[in-house]
Each structure stands twice: as structure tokens, then as C-alpha cells.
Amino acid sequence: MSNALTRSMQALADPTRRQILQMLHVGDLTAGEIGARFTISAPSISHHLAVLKTPS
């Protein structure tokens, strides 16, 4: 499996990141708006967003 595919699969393996993607599919949201919908810390949200933004 290629490195890009492996990184993509790892990013999508996390349920929080899948939820974030589903939310963004509906429309644009700021990091704060995304964070308000979860019970995890702002740094954790930032980490999840960084993983999703990392180019494959």
C-alpha cells in the first residue's frame, strides 16, 4: 500500500475525524464551531484538523 493511502486510511480510522468530515460535508465551519460540537479539548480538535489537512 502506498504511503499516501496508508496516511489517508489512518486519518479516516478515527471516529472523531470521520464526524468532522461529515460536518464539513454539509458546510464550512470554523475550528471553534467544530469544537463546540464535541466534548474534547480545543487542542485535540486542532490535532484532528491538522491530521485531516496533512497532504496525502
pLDDT tens for residues 1-54? 689 899 999 999 999 999 999 999 999 999 999 999 999 999 999 999 999 998
* C-alpha span between 56 and 8 (Å, rounded): 6
Q: Which domains does the chain have, with CATH numbers?
A: 3-53 (1.10.10.10)
At 54 the pLDDT is 85
- Check if the beta carbon of residue 32 is closer than 8 Å to that of residue 45: no
At 17 the pLDDT is 98
* C-alpha span between 20 and 16 (Å, rounded): 6
At 36 the pLDDT is 98
